[in-house]
Structure 1
Amino acid sequence: MQNLYVQKSQLSGTLHLPASKSHTMRALLFATLAEGTSVIHNPLPSPDTEAMIMACQQLGAKITHANNQLTVIGTSGNLKKPQSTIDAGNSGQVLRFIACLAGLQPGRVDITGDHSICHSRPVKPLLSALNQLGLTAQSIHKNNHPPISIQGSFTSSHAELDGSDSQPVSGLLMAAAFRDQITTHLTVSNPGETPWVLLTIDWLQRLGFTVEQSNFHQYAITGKKTIPAFNYTVPSDISAMAFPLVAALITQSTLTLSNIDLNDPQGDKAILDIVQRMGAQLTIDAEQKTVTTHPSPSLHGITIDINHCIDTLPILSVLGCFAQGTTQITGATIARFKESNRIEAMHTELSKMGADITVTDDGLIIRPTPLRAANVDSHHDHRIAMACAVAGLALSEQSVIKDTDCIAKSFPNFAQSFKQINANISLV
């Protein structure tokens, strides 16, 4: 178990972001279902990626990893029955996406995960939808949490589900795309995290599928047996951009973030609009794919509905501590069911740093007050760990963020990358 030690820094230079986890995971799934050999360049090296690779291999894909690329020999849509339980590790995407793909083969598929997956990730809406589509899907311990089992093949063409979490919707759309000549209809209540559904739809459309959707409540997609293999280069992770972006703002630094494709449908690019509403001074060059921060001494609090960019809750709660006036984060209920209960986790850890922070039903209220260095806990959550580390970069005394191995989930070499932009940070 490694800890991060951070204290006041003045950042400068250019930071290159890691590859997108969301794109890496979808590329692996579609390559597994494709006919022929696909090549995925610049995949994110992550425990989640490794869990997805192993799951796809258990379903019949042949995958090799060398020279910063994944070579995937697909199954031509003929998934095989896994010979053992699939372990999703700490990945909600592996859990939910693979559960949906299980319906494309007739055997039983069991899926488990780590403590967080099996205790913090409810699966009732997903299992209900899979059962409506003709499968026998259940929580093995009858507690609406993993481990889960899925047996049988899709026989029905309509399901209704709660869409507060986008991953079941994305997983069902991806599975429906490979039901040969069958049109599947989904009816979704409480649609949330919709940019991530749009990311899935963008993938499907680029692969030749037609997806009809009405206000994120109704979907229809007609499937094919398989798709041709493809070559794909994974873009930078815009979700990871939030951490150096806010670090630069709260340390009054000039910093350039590179290789940011603002045409990419990743939802967390909304943070650029949010911080500018709070008074951040940015230079955004879409042609050069760069974002440059400038000293912004007049940051002010606002009300932010973050349902469309839910993963920004930890880092925006940090930014709120350095803004004048009250910052209120709303629309974040689903953040209670991520790698940790992120609402409670940020309340707990920022309170240790002296924050005036209050929990609400769907978010947080942050009022300005000087923060102080502290020893804080990651809650085994990569975004909590990175957000707390960023807060420490603006404080004179040393802060310690404990148990930060989890950062590798989305931002490998986080400490090294920040050192390269002159952060006072060490990993021990």
Structure 2
Amino acid sequence: MGVIIRPVGEVTGEVEAPPSKSYTHRAYFLALLAEGRSKVKRPLVSDDTLATLNAIRAFGASVEGESIIPPEWPKGAFIDAHESGTTARIALAVASIGGGESTVNGGRRLRERPFGELVRALRKAGAEIEGERLPLRVIGRNLRRRDVEVDASTSSQFATALLIIGAKVGMEVLIKRSVSRPYIEVTARTLKAFGADFRREGFDFYIEPGITGTSFTVPGDYSSASFFLAAGALYGRVKIRNLDPKDVQADRAIIDALREFGAEVRVGRNYVEAEKGELRGVEMDCSDFPDLFPVLAVVASYAEGRSVLRARQLRFKESDRVRAMAVNLSRMGIRVRELPDGLEIEGGRPKGGQFETFNDHRIAMAMVVAALGARGESVIPETGSVSKSYPGFFNDLRRLVG
């Protein structure tokens, strides 16, 4: 599916944030490992979360609507994570404690993404895993060691995977050099909701075995909301409902990031509203919220002056997001310099053109937002990837621009 976008005068209105993808993944896997039935209420339904739902079914869970009935113990399974890194990494950890042989595989890009540090941590705990990239063959067994150290400098998902199985079998998880640390806080909050008993010292977790089935309502997603909040900051005023201002989601950072650029941002009890302001260039480290990088690069392309955006893990996402945004912003006539870990962007007046999504949902949505204010028509040939995280993106866009 492709789209043609013509510039709009302004973007105004309000929409409801979809449910959080991060919380949905974690709740599904914890429901798989819990003692007793769980209900995951208002989950996100997207390509990635469906991959996780299919994974927990393969491990032996019964799913009846929002209710999940876990098996006595996860069984061996074939897991196709498609392009979901969260699904694959947590499933790999679950397979390591499972009751048989499992294979974890995924789509082309996911097979290129790193798994090595997680594999090595699981092996040190006693897991039997062949290979360090997908597909990975796992022989489930009781882990011999209950203390494990993981280098999470490439992905915080390595830490999340260990924390989740740690809550099933009991484990000390020592997390080193983590990027995207707020995602670990999302994991910790979800563990608490499922009755996990743990103490922590910074990012060292000491977890007792035992997860209790529960009813868990998935909160709204700051990651998805960020695209339309950025549109409000660039072109008008947009209010996003169903956002908890006290949530620990990484991409809640969109509030402070847009304010730093110069936008007006208001936060209410259950909403965030962004309004156009006099935007200026900024220097920002996005390492704790790398999913915001593409849309913040768009904001920088409209801001006056120079911006520098960095996040060292960006080249290992669904695409090389540094390269992807450099290519697209250059096609918009924006002066951009690619750095090893980010971009230097000289703001201006972007022009329309034909852009590439690199089969990356966040690149696709960011370039749609960029095109709304560009000079002239824009063509984005392939936007089907948005269903990975935000299937309702274009419906919500129409509510704001007509």
Q: Which residue of 1 aligns with 2:209?
A: 223
Q: 1:238 deviation in Å? A: 0.7
Contact 1:110–1:149 (CA<8 Å) still a contact in 2?
Answer: yes
Q: 1:293 deviation in Å? A: 2.2
- 1:258 maps onto 2:241 in alignment: yes
Q: Which residue of 2 aligns with 1:102?
A: 95
* Structure 1, unpaired ranges of 5+: 424-428
Q: 1:63 deviation in Å? A: 1.0
Q: 1:127 deviation in Å? A: 0.6
User: d(CA) in 1 for partners of 2:360 and 2:64?
Assistant: 28
Q: 1:34 deviation in Å? A: 2.1
Q: Which residue of 2 aligns with 1:60?
A: 60
By relative contact order (CA 8 Å, sep 6+), the higher-ranking structure is 1
User: d(CA) in 2 for partners of 1:336 and 1:116?
Assistant: 12
Question: For this pair of structures, how many residues does the alignment match?
Answer: 399
Q: 1:358 deviation in Å? A: 1.0
- 1:336 maps onto 2:315 in alignment: yes
Residue correspondence of structure 1 range 1-16 to structure 2 within 5 A: 2-9=1-8, 10-16=10-16
Pick the aligned partner of 2:161 from 171, 176, 180.
171
* Structure 2, unpaired ranges of 5+: none
TM-superposition CA deviations, 1:208-266 (whole Å, max 9, x none): 223333332x2221212xx3322222111111111001111111x02211111011211
User: d(CA) in 2 for partners of 1:348 and 1:358?
Assistant: 10
Question: What secondary structure does 1:235 align onto?
Answer: coil
Q: Which residue of 2 aligns with 1:159?
A: 148
TM-superposition CA deviations, 1:48-82 (whole Å, max 9, x none): 111111110111101133xxxx2211124x11222
Question: What secondary structure does 1:170 align onto?
Answer: helix
In terms of mean alpha carbon deviation, does 88-97 or 350-359 score higher? 350-359
Residue correspondence of structure 1 range 119-138 to structure 2 within 5 A: 119=112, 121-138=113-130
Q: TM-score, normalization: structure 2?
A: 0.96
- 1:71 maps onto 2:39 in alignment: no
Residue correspondence of structure 1 range 177-188 to structure 2 within 5 A: 177-179=167-169, 182=170, 184-188=171-175
Q: 1:185 deviation in Å? A: 2.0
Q: Which residue of 2 aligns with 1:233?
A: 217
Q: 1:411 deviation in Å? A: 0.9
TM-superposition CA deviations, 1:394-427 (whole Å, max 9, x none): 113111112111101111121111101125xxxx
Question: What secondary structure does 2:11 align onto?
Answer: coil
User: d(CA) in 2 for partners of 1:361 and 1:211?
Assistant: 38
Pick the aligned partner of 2:287 from 289, 307, 310.
307
Contact 2:130–2:136 (CA<8 Å) still a contact in 1?
Answer: yes
Moved over 6 A (4+): none
User: d(CA) in 2 for partners of 1:36 and 1:177?
Assistant: 15
- 1:405 maps onto 2:384 in alignment: yes
Q: TM-score, normalization: structure 1?
A: 0.90
Which residue identity lines up with residue 145 of structure 1 in the other structure? R
Task: Note the aligned Cα RMSD (angstroms).
Answer: 1.4
Which residue identity lines up with residue 325 of structure 1 in the other structure? G
Contact 2:17–2:225 (CA<8 Å) still a contact in 1?
Answer: yes
TM-superposition CA deviations, 1:97-128 (whole Å, max 9, x none): 01111122231211100001112x11110110
Contact 2:15–2:241 (CA<8 Å) still a contact in 1?
Answer: yes
Contact 2:350–2:375 (CA<8 Å) still a contact in 1?
Answer: no
Question: What secondary structure does 1:307 align onto?
Answer: coil
- 1:293 maps onto 2:283 in alignment: no
Contact 1:238–1:269 (CA<8 Å) still a contact in 2?
Answer: yes
Q: Which residue of 2 aligns with 1:426?
A: none
Q: Which residue of 2 aligns with 1:360?
A: 339
Q: Which residue of 1 aligns with 2:39?
A: 39
User: d(CA) in 1 for partners of 2:85 and 2:346?
Assistant: 32
Which residue identity lines up with residue 156 of structure 1 in the other structure? R
Q: Which residue of 2 aligns with 1:145?
A: 133
